[in-house]
Amino acid sequence: MIEFHIEPRSGVAPYLQLVHQVRQALRLGLLHEGDRLPKVKDVAAKVAINPNTVLKAYRQLENEGLVSPKPGVGTFVTGTLGEPATSEHEPLRQELRRWLASARAAGLDPESIEALFRQTFRSTVEEER
Amino acid sequence: MIWLTWRQFRAQFLVAAAALAAATAYLLYSGLALRDDYRELTAGCPTGGCSDANQLIDTYSLPYWTGCVLVLLAPALIGAFWGASLVARELETGTHRLVWNQGIGRGRWLTVKLLLVGAAAVAVTGLLSLLVSWFASPLDRIGHDRFTPLLFAARGVVPLGYAAFAVALGACVGLFLRRTVAAMAVTLAAFAAVQILVPLAVRPHLEQPVHRVVALDADTLHSARTLGFTGTHGPSATFVAGIDMPDAWMLSDSSPVQDSDNRTLTFGTQPCRDSSHDLPSEDCLARANLHIAVDYQPADRYWPFQWIETAIFLALTVALAALTTWGLHRRLG
Amino acid sequence: MTAIVETRALTKRYGRRTALADCTLTVPAGRVVGLVGPNGAGKSTLLQLACGLLTPTSGTVEVFGRPPAADGAQLGRVGFVAQDTPTYAALTVADHLRLGAKLNPRWDAALAERRVRQLGLDPTQRSGRLSGGQRAQLALTLAVAKRPELLLLDEPVAALDPLARRAFLQSLMEFVAESESQATVVLSSHLVSDLERVCDHLIVLAGSRVQADGEIDDLLATHFRLTTARRDTDTLPAGMRVVNAEHTERQSTFVVRAERAVDDPSWVMEPLGLEDLVLAHLTADPRPVLEPQR
């Protein structure tokens, strides 16, 4: 069973914070398929958070295919993040290194590179949606 | 709601009950002793009018006046401590915001509180009045003065009316002032004002007073309360006399003495002039065919007056309760 | 979306002082609504009008489509915890529960007793000897054991220390999660961080006017801080509504409302925390703020 927490000043909607925490737990191996998520009522009472927020987070996770509710029993983890194994990270890292080097060669300072990366990353993610 | 009222009111009520019990013990003890003495006294002179009678009043003056003061004070204190705190304390501590949001309306809240506290006030004062009336009845039979303003208010049923009125007055003042201590002070002051005003301005006119011309014969002169001149002795000083009638309420303390031609007598024109004394002798005056005119409420009006005045105070109570109910919805809204 | 509380041009004056002016808003059903605004914005007045403790000078307020506190049944459907959570100092905790049981037809004695046990309150303790947090919890217990459909809370945590505040909010959320047909809660506060946790709907009240009103997630998703070289407000692209603008000699900082963040090399546009979002709306109206009303 995992525990949730809320960081009010983050600017991230509370339900998204819960979603992130479930994904993180999956990634870290704290949650496995078949595990039950805490009951909405318990999360609400423990974290002092609106039950609607918990419901919304669980629905979002359901839409992502990570969990599914069993009426009257609870919400269970059904999926994994399906990410490629860490070993496949290496070739991607190499590629990124090469790109960073060419960005430096083009005269961009680290902060400009970061801004450019973030900007491109965000617009790409949005286009994919 | 009844339970809540009782729970909030318990301590105050127990204080009053304890005070009542103490007063009962004291007056019961004195009252029984008084009755023994009274029996001895009346056995000695069956026709009444004993000269020792006044001595009996002196002997028992402490419990007698304690009783009177208790009956007079009880409604005032009840009004201040029970009535004024009834609404004001809730407003002061903000608990009205708690209780008015329970499943009963504030109208019912007030009704139950006023009725219960009012009933308790009437019961306590009624018992006290009954006790004091019982204690004092032998002395009243000697004194024949129960219709006088002070004793009238301390006997019979009027204290019940006062008690109900005081509670409603306290509640109403508390609602408009919203401060317990201020409400208590104002309630006491207002109640005292009413208690002074009523015997002066209202009670004498409950019924048209009887106007009677009384001849100043030997008997009347003998029992006269006052006989003399007004102001300094001179031609402008009027010759006046005041008389008592048993159990009646004399509205005129003293009245100008008139002769058979209805002339008012003054210093210098009075009969039986005596160079050595300012006051003429009673024997001489008794033969002078003089008379005075008096206004009074006769003794048989005592109980009608008790009931009328009680009814007036109960009507005032209802009016104040209505005003409080109205204010509860309007003024706090 | 059914409106539980609906006000139209609601106005409350005390003599010449206006506590709430021309307030029109709706509280949707089944939400936990945060009512936020500076002291004196009329939050307390609004809540007291909604529970029928006050009557409007003009305008209307309806709860469940009826005037507030119209009768016992209506009173039974609404729970109210007043500011400073008043209780009877001379009465014990058990007395308070008994009071609630005697005065409320739908009283849930089991719930009340369970809560008192959970909170570790001594039933024989007089409420005058309870700590502020315990008293607030007792007041909340009285309000929720009525099984209200609408729960109004007037600054319930303002006077509490952080620990008691968290405990209170936990209790409150437990009640919300437990209520069968989900109860509607209106909670006034000036502590935005608390509201962000527990509320899903926010009403920003300033100068007794509704400045912002909506689901918190929507509000967060559509408000941004935009930092750029100094430029005029009207040069921003259409689709951005400026809530608040601040200029220095060289720089302009806007709080804008927009469907989504727009990337542009000439500015930085980032999400806004709820607290800053609320502050932006509160400072959007330059009208002077009235003194708090008690």
Distance CA C90, CA C8 (A): 40
If one counts every other C-beta atom within 10 angstroms of the C-beta of residue C294, the result is 7
Q: Residue B283, Cβ neighbours under 10 Å: how many?
A: 10
HEC sequence for chain C: CCEEEEEEEEEEEECCEEEEEEEEEEEECCCEEEEECCCCCCHHHHHHHHCCCCCCCEEEEEECCECCCCCHHHHHHEEEECCCCCCCCCCEHHHHHHHHHHHCCCCCHHHHHHHHHHHCCCCCCEHHHCCHHHHHHHHHHHHHCCCCCEEEEECCCCCCCHHHHHHHHHHHHHHHHHCCCCCEEEEEECCHHHHHHHCCEEEEEECCEEEEEEEHHHHHHHEEEEEEECCCHHHCCCCCEEEEEEECCCEEEEEEECCCCCCCCCEEEEECCHHHHHHHHHHHCCCCCCCCCC
Give B-chain residues touching C87 at CB under 8 angstroms. Answer: 95, 98
Structure tokens at C218: 């929507």
User: Could you tell me what percentage of chain A is helix, strand and coil, using 3-state DSSP and rounding each to the nearest 5?
Assistant: 60, 5, 35
Q: Which of B124-133, B218-227, B248-257, C241-250 has the highest mean pLDDT?
A: B124-133
Interface test with C, best of A7, A52, A127 (most C CBs within 10 A): A52
pLDDT tens-digit readout, A69-86: 888 888 898 877 766 566
Higher pLDDT residue, B76 or C3?
B76
Q: Look up the pTM and report it.
A: 0.81
Which chain B residue lies closest to C85 (C-alpha atoms)? B98
Of the partner residues C170, C178, C192, the one whose CB lies closest to the CB of residue A48: C170
Q: How far is A94 from chain C (nearest CA, A)?
A: 28
- Identify whether residues C208 and C160 lie together within a single domain: yes
- Chains A vs B: touching, with 3+ CB pairs under 8 Å? no
pLDDT digits (tens, 9 = 90+) for B178-209: 999 999 999 999 999 999 999 999 999 998 99
| Three-state DSSP string of C194-251 | HHHHHCCEEEEEECCEEEEEEEHHHHHHHEEEEEEECCCHHHCCCCCEEEEEEECCCE
Return mean pLDDT, chain B. Answer: 86
What are the residue ranges spanned by the domains of chain B? 2-207+301-330, 217-289
* B291-317 tens-digit pLDDT: 888 899 998 999 999 999 999 999 999
- Show me where the domains of chain A are located: 8-77, 86-128
Chain A residues in contact with C261 by the CB 8 A cut-off are 122
Give the C-alpha separation, C42 to C37, whole Å: 8
Asked whether residue C163 falls in the same domain as residue C251, the answer is no
The pLDDT, as a whole number, for residue C289 is: 38
Residues in C touching B103 (Cβ below 8 Å): 72-73, 75-76, 103-106, 146
CA neighbours within 13 Å on the CB side: how many for B24? 12
C32 and C178 in a single domain? The answer is: yes
Subunits with at least 3 CB pairs below 8 A relative to chain A?
Answer: C
Q: Can you read off the two tokens belonging to residue B235?
A: 């031609």
Q: Is the pLDDT of residue C40 over 50?
A: yes
Residue B333 reports pLDDT greater than 80: no
| Assigned domain for C76 exists | yes
State chain A's mean pLDDT as an integer: 85
In words, the CATH class of domain A8-77 is: mainly alpha
Q: How many CB atoms lie within 10 A of CB C87?
A: 25
Q: What is the pLDDT of residues B80-124, one digit of tens each?
A: 999 999 999 999 988 888 888 888 888 889 999 999 999 999 999
Q: What percent of chain A has pLDDT over 90?
A: 19
Structural domain range at position C185: 3-217
Q: Are residues C15 and C41 in the same domain?
A: yes
Residues of chain C positioned with their CB less than 8 A from the CB of A13: 216-217, 220-221
Examine residue C200 and state whether it is found in any structural domain, yes or no.
yes
Residue C190: phi, psi to the nearest 5?
-110, 5
**Structural domains in chain C (count):** 2
At C287, the amino acid letter reads R
Q: How far apart are CA B240 and CA B257, in angstroms?
A: 5
Distance from CA of C264 to the nearest CA of A (A): 9
Which of B169-173, B263-267, C50-54, C94-98 is predicted with the least confidence, judged by mean pLDDT? B263-267
Helix (H, G, I), strand (E, B) or coil at A6: coil
Residues of C in contact with A18 (CB under 8 A): none
Among the ranges given (B9-23, B264-278, C167-181, C267-281), the one the predictor scored with the smallest mean pLDDT = B264-278
Given a cut of 50, is residue C294 above it in pLDDT?
A: no
With 60 as the cut, is the pLDDT of residue B48 above it?
A: no
User: Tokens in use for A96?
Assistant: 């990124």
CB contact under 8 A, A122 and C170: no
Between C55, C84, C88, which is nearest B333 by CB?
C55
pLDDT exceeds 70 at position B278: no
Contact between A51 and C275 using a beta-carbon 8 Å cutoff:
no
The average pLDDT across B276-281 equals: 65
What's chain C's average pLDDT? 86
Q: Do A50 and C271 touch (CB under 8 A)?
A: no
Q: What digits encode the pLDDT tens for the residues B136-183?
A: 888 888 888 888 888 899 888 999 999 999 999 999 999 999 999 999
| Residues of chain A found within 8 Å of residue C221, distances taken between Cβ atoms | 13
> Which subunits have 3 or more CB–CB pairs within 8 Å of chain B?
C
Query: Which residue from B8, B97, B333 is facing C86, i.e. has the nearest CB?
Result: B97
Per the model's pLDDT, the better-predicted residue between A61 and B220 turns out to be A61
| Cα of A13 to nearest chain C Cα, Å | 6
Average pLDDT, stretch C27-46? 88
The predicted pLDDT at position A30 comes to 84
pLDDT of residue C290: 38
**pLDDT reading at C291 higher than 50:** no
Assess A112–C contact: CB distance below 8 Å, yes or no.
no
In a domain, C190, yes or no: yes
C239-274 residue pLDDT tens: 888 888 888 888 999 999 888 888 787 888 888 888
The closest alpha carbon to C143, from C131, C158, C132, C154, belongs to C154
* Interface subset of A 12-41, CB within 8 angstroms of C: 12-15, 40-41
**Which residues fall within 8 angstroms of residue B325, CB to CB, at 6 or more apart?**
B107, B110, B111
Candidates C150, C149, C160; CA nearest to C138 is: C160
Same domain, C152 and C280: no
My answer on whether C268 and C160 are in the same domain is no
Q: CB A13 to CB C217 under 8 A?
A: yes
What's the CA gap between B193 and B318, in Å, rounded?
Answer: 19
Q: So what's the pLDDT on residue C288?
A: 37
Asked if A116 has any chain C CB less than 8 Å from its own CB, the reply is no
C289, part of any domain:
no
